[in-house]
Amino acid sequence: MVNFDTAVTLSGLKLDNPVIPASGTFGFGYEFADFYDINVLGSISLKGTTKDARFGNPTPRIAECTEALINSVGLQNPGVHKVISDELPKLKKCFNKKAIANISGFGIDEYAYTSELLDKEEQIGILEINISCPNVHNGGMSFGTDPKNAYEVTKAVKAVTKKPVYIKLTPNVTDIVSVAKACEEAGADGISMINTLLGMRIDLKTGKPVIANKMGGFSGRAIKPVAVRMVYQVYEAVKIPIIGMGGIARAEDVIEMMMAGATAVQVGAENLINPYACRDIINDLPRVMEKYKINKLTDIIGRAH
Amino acid sequence: MKNVILKIEENKALTDTVWQMTLSGDCSGITKPGQFINIKLDGFYLRRPISVYDCGEDFVTIIYKVVGEGTEYMATLAEGKELDVLIGLGNGFDTSLSGDKPVVIGGGVGVPPMFKLAKELIAEGKSVTAILGFNTAGEIFAENEFKKIGCEVIVTTVDGSYGTKGFVTNAMDFDYTYTFCCGPEPMLKAVYNTGKTSGQFSFEERMGCGFGACMGCTCKTKYGNKRICKDGPVLVKEEIIW
């Protein structure tokens, strides 16, 4: 039997396989250890972390869509100090690989503050910077919708950490390539993409939006073609590695996303309907690799170009 | 929590809008009354969380109201069909705090979880009164089942077409040692304010995953933020913030 090589490397961090649960769908990882041995994962992108604790948005926060859902959780998290004191030690007990810290902020200073603290945590292998948040110092416009803002956040985080910095891009822009290029220029080590698409559902009985916050992030299998397209475009424009995500639900999707240009992938919404999704995808990879005659996953990165 | 494949043994209408489904298979993962199951349905992205009416090692019975497209579809499912189900979700009720004469109060589709709870309380030798609240006589279900297991049963209807006229709180004027309650939030709040004892209240919220991963159903309590699906759905009276 052929030995299928699923290993990939992100900025020096070697992963046994490219499958990573996406931030916000997997908590701080340890709770999924009740379902299966989470050490089978390539890595884990942890729950989005901010400087201060956040309750998040009012409920309802979830709306179902066709092959997708909308969420408006609002970055609920206990704040970076509690993440370091309470959450990471629990993760360490059941996960012996490096994890990815996912960092949000509402000002450049907040991104830098949280990044500097997480930089000191040994179990964190990569800082993933979510720039989809509104900048409260700049009229509430999302950092990720403006290349200049994206550049500045990247620079500020790079200045406080030695760990690889991956910038997580929002797809809710006219030209995602220009944002990706600005991040690369500012020294980003990689790109994570895509965050959720802005969406809305209306309850026909009440005639009002289902989500309390009206709009939310649309994700799930339905968005995969958008994500594949954007990863394809960004891969053409930057030299740094891409973690691709958006609608990944099967081993076949991993292959497709890597062919578009991703070095690794994240699985998000699928975890919420199948808590075993990542494990199942990893187990299924050799079968799909055999079917498409792939011996080494790294061989197919960007094959579509 | 366990992920199991269960087979529909029976799926029948109890009233115009309320259905009862019994599923067979390994249900040993349901460990406490008040827990719920989360059912994957063909053609629907999210699972449907439904409270447990009754269960044993090899079966689970749920009672659900047809309120949207998912439950409409559930009502069409025939015997023999297999469903992918996550079972044993949520914290469930703690019967050890009940004293010897607890009251269990259910309103509408808040009635089902009180049945398994009442069964367990009675098995523990406690004397249980059940107050079952409905809008009108035609919506009543499960009254006889509560009687059969040995509960003292009081039915209330808002329009007075059966039993005591009014809300469940109109029937709480007697001595009891502890309050268990499940129903729509205005009812929970009324029972919270009327009740003379400590108690446990089961809440409902729109959920994403049902097992604590997505933070879609978080509420504030005096003991910190809690996910209704994982840290709840049962909250103790002392921690509730309205």
Assembly ipTM: 0.92
In contact, A135 and A97? CB cutoff 8 Å? no
Q: How far is it, in rounded angstroms, from Cα B217 to Cα A79?
A: 19
- Is the CB of A32 inside 8 Å of chain B's CB atoms? yes
Report the C-alpha gap between A6 and A61 in whole angstroms: 36
| Residue to substitute from A59, A82, A271, A278, interface B, most B β-carbons within 10 A | A59
State chain B's mean pLDDT as an integer. 96
Candidates A27, A31, A64; nearest CB to B46: A64
Indicate whether B222 belongs to any domain.
no
Are B63 and B117 within one domain?
A: no
Q: Is-contact B129 B204, C-beta < 8 A?
A: no
* Beta pairing class for A165-168 and B102-107: unpaired
Are B43 and B107 in the same domain?
no
Does residue A126 contact residue A101 with C-beta atoms inside 8 Å? yes
Report the distance separating Cα B226 and Cα A175, nearest Å. Answer: 39
Contacts of A247 in chain B (CB under 8 A): none
Nearest to A243 by CA among A261, A225, A259, A265: A265
Q: Which residues contact A225 (CB under 8 A, 6 or more apart)?
A: A247
**CB spacing of B46 vs A62 below 8 angstroms:** yes
**Chain-chain contact of A76 with B45 (C-beta, under 8 angstroms):** no
Measured in whole angstroms, the distance separating CA B72 from the mean position of its chain's CA atoms is 19
Tokens 């998912």, located at residue: B70
Which tens digit of pLDDT belongs to each residue from A119-142? 999 999 999 999 987 666 766 678
* Cβ-Cβ contacts under 8 Å, B44 against chain A: 64
Does A73 reach chain B within 8 Å, measured CB to CB?
A: yes
Task: Domain count for chain B, please give it.
Answer: 2
* Residues contacting residue A76 through CB under 8 Å, at least 6 positions apart: A54, A55, A56, B215, B218, B225
Residue tagged 């609920």 (tokens): A76
- A27, A32, A37, A40: CA torsion to nearest 10: -40
> Domain A8-57+75-197+220-300 belongs to what architecture?
Alpha-Beta Barrel (3.20)
Subunit contact A273:B47, Cβ cutoff 8 A: yes
Which segments in chain B show pLDDT lower than 50? none
For residue A132, what pLDDT is reported? 86
pLDDT on residue A133: 73
A212 touches chain B (CB under 8 A): no
pLDDT at B26: 97
Known active-site residue A65: no
Q: Give chain B positions within 8 Å (CB) of A27.
A: 212-213
**What domain range includes position B99?**
95-202
**Alpha-carbon radius of gyration of chain A:** 18
pLDDT confidence bin for A274, thresholds 50/70/90: very high
- Segment A155-175 mean pLDDT: 97
Mean per-residue pLDDT, A35-41: 97
**CA-closest candidate to residue A50, choices A102, A108, A113, A104:** A104
Residue A1 has pLDDT above 60, yes or no: no
**What is the Cβ-side half-sphere exposure of residue A20, based on CA atoms within 13 angstroms?**
37
Interval A183-223: pLDDT, tens: 999 999 999 999 999 999 999 999 999 999 999 999 999 99
Residue A60: asked if its preceding bond is cis (omega within 30°), the reply is: yes
CATH code at position B113: 3.40.50.80
With respect to residue B219, please indicate whether it lies within any of the assigned structural domains. no
Interchain pair B86, A55: CB under 8 A? no
Strands B199-202, B178-182: pairing is parallel
- Pick the catalytic residue: A94, A133, A183, A278? A133
For A49-66, write each residue's pLDDT tens digit.
999 999 999 999 999 999
pLDDT of residue A142: 85
Mean pLDDT of chain A: 95
